[in-house]
Amino acid sequence: MSVNAVDTVSLVGPPLWLLAEVTYRCPLHCVFCYNPVDFAQSGPELSTEDWLRVLREARAAGSVQCGFSGGEPLVREDLEILVAEAHRLGFYTNLLTSGVGLTEARATALKLAGLDHVQLSFQDSTKELNDFLSHTKTFDLKRRTADIIKANGWPMVLNCVIHRLNIDYIEQIIDLAVELGAEYLELANSQYYSWAEINRDNLLPSREQIERAERLTNAYRELLGDKLRIIFVVPDYYETRPKKCMNGWGNVFLTVTPDGSALPCHTAKMLKGIEFPNVRDMNISDIWYRSTAFNYFRGDSWMKDPCRTCADKEKDRGGCRCQAYMLTGDAANADPVCDKSPMHERVTQAVDYAQIPDAQRDIVKPLVFRDPKASRLAKV
């Protein structure tokens, strides 16, 4: 470690963003879920008391944004208690939900608890992937949920994960957002971690698909103006410079998993060889400033070439540690999305494969749905 603990405290800013993944339980089976593939093998969930303590400690350490996520956070019956405490402590409170379980009664209770914002995801979750958009039951649920969100005065923020199997329906997705009265729509291309990585060949769109979707999105932007703000996120794999993942390791984000692991990002648990602290054993301030795990990729002494000598090293911090680990076997390597990476071909190979139409592919791998049974069997 290049910086000692005392210096670290003065150099590192507070964990502004706390992502509370309160449960891995979820009624959905999304093929792009970023929860660990072996989520069903993790330890018992934190208790209400544990979470209340985590909220207090994080707030004292300077956290201001709190996202309640999962799994489906509404599965936790104590969600209202946690939101109320987060609100009382001065957090801006965000709920990231599929809407499943958001009844009028719970929405009212969450509003009373001080919930500031709801981000509703399209649950592209049914095993009948192709008709998820036209599925009446799904649509009714979304309609009902959207009405509940509006009735409580929350802004209507929709998130839809985009991939090879739904990207050609981008117009229908935007139309649906308009129909539901959304103010913001995030069309976030799937990134390839966890379940999405297993399903990558099935999910990574072709260049033509992405260009078409972007073109249509831009046309809608012109048409709709301020009525609906659309954010379109291109998959990393089509870039030549990596993203500044999590805005830097241990820089802004702190994720606490259902079993209490503290992570610099929600997928970091995959990095074997780093022991992540648990909120049951260590307080948030020590985790953030002093733990080995959170200091692991701070500074630049861990960097290798080409990052070490790269002019952009502060701009992108070498990209994503998990992507480097998954695609090169070493988390300290450059994210191979970068075309300066000697292993950039690991990304371009996947991109090349994505250009082959499904009908012309020799090997057809089945989609793997996020599922506790599959997760219990997973060897990671």
Residues engaged in binding another protein (CB under 8 A): 14, 16, 61-62, 64-65, 67, 90, 92, 94, 116-117, 119, 153, 155, 157
Closer Cβ to another protein, 59 or 76, answer by number: 59
CB 193 within 8 A of CB 326: yes
Query: In whole angstroms, how close is the CB of 92 to another protein at the nearest point?
Result: 4
Instruction: Give the pairing type, strands 184-189 and 92-97.
Output: unpaired
85: CB partners within 8 A, 6+ apart: 52, 55, 56
- What is the spatial distance between Cα 345 and Cα 111, in angstroms, rounded to a whole number? 49
- What is the spatial distance between Cα 245 and Cα 321, in angstroms, rounded to a whole number? 8
CA 175 to chain CA mean position, Å = 24
Closer Cβ to another protein, 39 or 122, answer by number: 122
Closer Cβ to another protein, 58 or 326, answer by number: 58
Query: In whole angstroms, how close is the CB of 72 to another protein at the nearest point?
Result: 19
Burial class (CB in 10 A: 0-12, 13-18, 19+), 309: exposed
Residue 286 has a CB neighbour count (10 Å cut-off) of 16
- What is the spatial distance between Cα 260 and Cα 50, in angstroms, rounded to a whole number? 9
Query: In whole angstroms, how close is the CB of 259 to another protein at the nearest point?
Result: 25
Query: In whole angstroms, how close is the CB of 269 to another protein at the nearest point?
Result: 22
- What is the spatial distance between Cα 267 and Cα 244, in angstroms, rounded to a whole number? 15
Residue 136: CA count within 13 A, CB half-sphere: 0
Q: Which residue has the tokens 């659309």?
A: 230
Closer Cβ to another protein, 13 or 27, answer by number: 13
Indicate the SS3 state at residue 342: coil
- 36: cis peptide before it, omega within 30°? no
Closer Cβ to another protein, 118 or 331, answer by number: 118
Query: In whole angstroms, how close is the CB of 14 to another protein at the nearest point?
Result: 5
Tokens of 94: 């965000």
**Rounded to the nearest 5 degrees, what angle is found at the Cα of 76, between the Cα atoms of 72 and 81?**
125
Query: In whole angstroms, how close is the CB of 187 to another protein at the nearest point?
Result: 16
Closer Cβ to another protein, 63 or 138, answer by number: 63
Query: In whole angstroms, how close is the CB of 338 to another protein at the nearest point?
Result: 27
Tell me the sheet residues that pair with 202: none
Phi, psi of 157 (to 5 degrees): -115, 115
- What is the spatial distance between Cα 313 and Cα 318, in angstroms, rounded to a whole number? 6
Closer Cβ to another protein, 68 or 169, answer by number: 68
Query: In whole angstroms, how close is the CB of 288 to another protein at the nearest point?
Result: 11
Q: Which residue has the tokens 């649920």?
A: 141
Query: In whole angstroms, how close is the CB of 154 to another protein at the nearest point?
Result: 9
Closer Cβ to another protein, 115 or 331, answer by number: 115
Query: In whole angstroms, how close is the CB of 159 to another protein at the nearest point?
Result: 11
Closer Cβ to another protein, 69 or 295, answer by number: 69
Closer Cβ to another protein, 253 or 296, answer by number: 253
End-to-end CA gap in the chain: 28
